[in-house]
Amino acid sequence: ANSKAVPKLESKEMVKMSAYVKSIANGEKTSIDVKANKHMVEMMKLGQQVFEERRGGRGLSCNNCHSMDIVGQRLRMQPLPDLGAKETAAASTWPAYRMTQSQMVTLDKRMQQCMKNALLAELPLGSKEMVGLEVYVTNKSKGNPISVPSVKR
């Protein structure tokens, strides 16, 4: 019997594994079939709902900072990225090395950090809502080449 415990989603081991596995696909286009089955359709719908839902102390949503009419403006000296654009496609460029934290960060952990900064309740890693949000954001990156690990501010 294997006595080693399975690493937690937020563990350094899982971050390293995620970066390694995704890096194997470098150069390939991000591809996700959100109509593949009932579960994917449900996750895409839930993800869009989470992305657009206003919540928290400021009544903000992900869409407040990542809608096309806001993209490119600055927040704390950092341009707000288009999550589907080639250079900033979230699902194609994460996990990434965050210079401000001096460490590798996964997409879901980055989304948690964003929620925290916006005073939103952080969605737990692996929760149905976080998985839905990842599916929705990954679909925005569809067709963009994978480039992992990338370097982010």
Domain 12-152 is found in CATH 1.10.760.10: yes
Which single residue is written with the structure tokens 């194997």?
24
Record the pTM.
0.88
Q: Mapping DSSP to helix (H, G, I), strand (E, B) and coil, where does residue 23 land?
A: helix
Please name which of 54, 69, 67, 45 lies closest in space to residue 118, comparing C-alpha atoms.
54
Domains of the chain, by residue range, sit at 12-152
Residue 40 has pLDDT above 90, yes or no: yes
Largest Cα span, the chain:
55
Which residues participate in catalysis according to the annotation? Answer: 114
2-33: pLDDT as tens digits? 557 777 877 899 899 999 999 999 999 999 99
